């Protein structure tokens, strides 16, 4: 399986400068490629590796027994999934789903190394702790948005996050139902709000696409 050399690792993960850690990342990590819509992790499945994002983006979400989705956060190049780290260290099954938002490459780190490196490499431990901090902050923002913000504010924040994940591309490729699911609303409410935003010159609507103006 193809891996990354140490130079490529430091370009994507500049926080890793320890040569021994870089050597282990290069020797033990392997590249996995996913197309848009592919599942990287699924709820109830064992987590065999931690995905360090090389390129592309992923969405992390939970799904209940009635098949309702809750978007937790997005991941971009240089980041990893806090849930997969926890599962690897606890040797537990996944509680979330991870889906590629676009064509995505990850450096897959075998699960048995995650806990070992926490004790062995301070830089790896710092990266893991920063990941937990960042994801916690994003979850707090999501809770605040649902609890305290109006739907139009939440939608604009959602669009801005999608644009950032798409490296500035202002066309959001999603149906009204998909947007409603991500924002924990109904398709009818989202459609009405989008039409109002279009009248106000904020967006341009098309089939399964929204261009943010």
pLDDT category of residue 181 using cuts at 50, 70 and 90:
confident
Helix (H, G, I), strand (E, B) or coil at 35: coil
Check residue 7 and give its pLDDT. 84
* DSSP, res 206: E
Check residue 38 and give its pLDDT. 94
pLDDT higher than threshold 70 for residue 2: no
Q: Hey, what's the torsion of the CAs at 60, 115, 35, 94, to 10 degrees?
A: -50
pLDDT digits (tens, 9 = 90+) for 53-108: 999 999 898 887 777 777 888 899 999 999 999 998 888 899 899 999 889 999 99
pLDDT higher than threshold 60 for residue 1: no
| Distance from C-alpha of 139 to C-alpha of 133, rounded to nearest angstrom | 10
Percent of all residues in the chain with a pLDDT value above 70, rounded to a whole number = 96
Check residue 84 and give its pLDDT. 92
Write down the CATH superfamily of domain 6-146.
Jelly Rolls (2.60.120.10)
Tokens of 23: 């050597």
Mean pLDDT of all residues in 159-188 = 87
Residues carrying CATH 2.60.120.10, the chain: 6-146
- Give the end-to-end CA distance of the chain in Å, rounded to a whole number: 43
Could you tell me which CATH class the domain 150-212 is placed in? Answer: mainly alpha
Largest CA distance in the chain: 58
pLDDT category of residue 149 using cuts at 50, 70 and 90:
low
Sheet of 30-34: strand order equals 30-34, 104-110, 49-55
Check residue 141 and give its pLDDT. 76
Answer whether 127's CB lies under 8 Å from 114's CB. no
Residues carrying CATH 1.10.10.10, the chain: 150-212
Per-residue CA distances from 45 to 33, 48, 72, 134, 135 (Å): 19, 9, 18, 24, 21
Q: What is the pTM of this model?
A: 0.73
Which residue shows structure tokens 């979330």? 96
């Amino acid at each position: 399986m193809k891996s990354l050399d140490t130079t490529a690792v430091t370009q994507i993960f500049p926080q890793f400068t320890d040569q021994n850690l870089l050597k282990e990342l290069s020797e033990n990590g392997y590249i996995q490629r996913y197309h848009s819509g592919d599942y990287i992790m699924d709820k109830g499945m064992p987590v065999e590796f931690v995905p360090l994002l090389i390129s592309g983006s992923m969405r992390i979400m939970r799904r209940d027994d009635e098949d309702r989705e809750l978007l937790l956060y997005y991941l971009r190049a240089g980041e990893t999934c806090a849930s997969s780290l926890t599962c690897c260290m606890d040797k537990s099954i996944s509680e979330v789903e991870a889906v590629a938002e676009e064509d995505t490459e990850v450096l897959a780190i075998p699960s048995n190394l995650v806990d070992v490196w926490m004790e062995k490499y301070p830089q790896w431990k710092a990266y893991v702790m920063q990941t937990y901090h960042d994801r916690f902050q994003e979850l707090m923002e999501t809770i605040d948005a649902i609890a305290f913000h109006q739907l139009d504010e939440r939608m604009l924040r959602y669009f801005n996050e999608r644009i950032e994940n798409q490296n500035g591309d202002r066309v959001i490729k999603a149906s009204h139902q998909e947007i409603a699911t991500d924002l924990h609303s109904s398709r009818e409410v989202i459609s009405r709000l989008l039409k109002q935003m279009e009248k106000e010159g904020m967006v341009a609507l098309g089939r399964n696409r929204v261009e943010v103006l």
